[in-house]
Amino acid sequence: MEETLFFKAAPNPPPDADVIAEVALLDVSVSDLSKGEAKATVLRVIGPATGRVHKGDILSLKFLVSSCGPHHQSGDKGTIFAKVGTDPEGRLVWYPYGYRDYDGMFWPPSINK
């Protein structure tokens, strides 16, 4: 039942994402039992970034954390599908979809500001 940020393969149909990118996580933190934050370096833009995201950019991610894991750490790499939003200070924040590998299920991001 592990839910991760990283997709092993693009689902069909794909999620409605503002960006699909391969990233490396930096500075991962969990503020409580269900909310995580991280900085992520973009290694490669794969899908619709509409000119906003480029290789080498640092993204701010906010995501839900599954009690079943995996427990993401700095240095983890993978492909994310994410929606863009803003935090209370007006900065861009990326909200990745959750993915479960064993059955290919995915969930929309939790965009709670």
Would you state the pLDDT for residue 97?
92
- How confident is the model at residue 50, as a pLDDT? 67
Amino acid 113: pLDDT: 44
The pLDDT tens digits along the chain (113 residues) read: 567 889 988 888 888 899 999 999 998 888 766 788 999 999 999 987 766 899 999 999 998 777 666 678 889 999 999 999 988 888 889 999 988 877 878 888 876 54
Residue among 99, 111, 94 at smallest CA distance from 45: 94
pLDDT computed for residue 34 by the predictor: 76
pLDDT for position 36: 85
Q: H or E stretch including 37?
A: strand 35-45
In the prediction, which pLDDT does 109 show? 87
Q: Spell out the domain ranges in the chain.
A: 19-101
- pLDDT value at position 100? 80
Please provide residue 99's backbone torsions phi and psi, each rounded to the nearest 5 degrees.
-140, 140
Distance CA 71, CA 54 (A): 26
Instruction: Give this prediction's pTM.
Output: 0.86
DSSP letters along 50-86, please? TTS--TT-EEEEEEE--TT-----TT-EEEEEEEEEE
Beta bridge partners of 24: 41, 77
Q: What angle do CA 27, 57, 76 make, to 5 degrees?
A: 40
What CATH number labels 19-101? 2.40.50
Q: Report the C-alpha gap between 93 and 83 in whole angstroms.
A: 8
User: Residue 112: what pLDDT?
Assistant: 55
Answer for the pair 31, 37: CB distance below 8 angstroms, yes or no.
yes
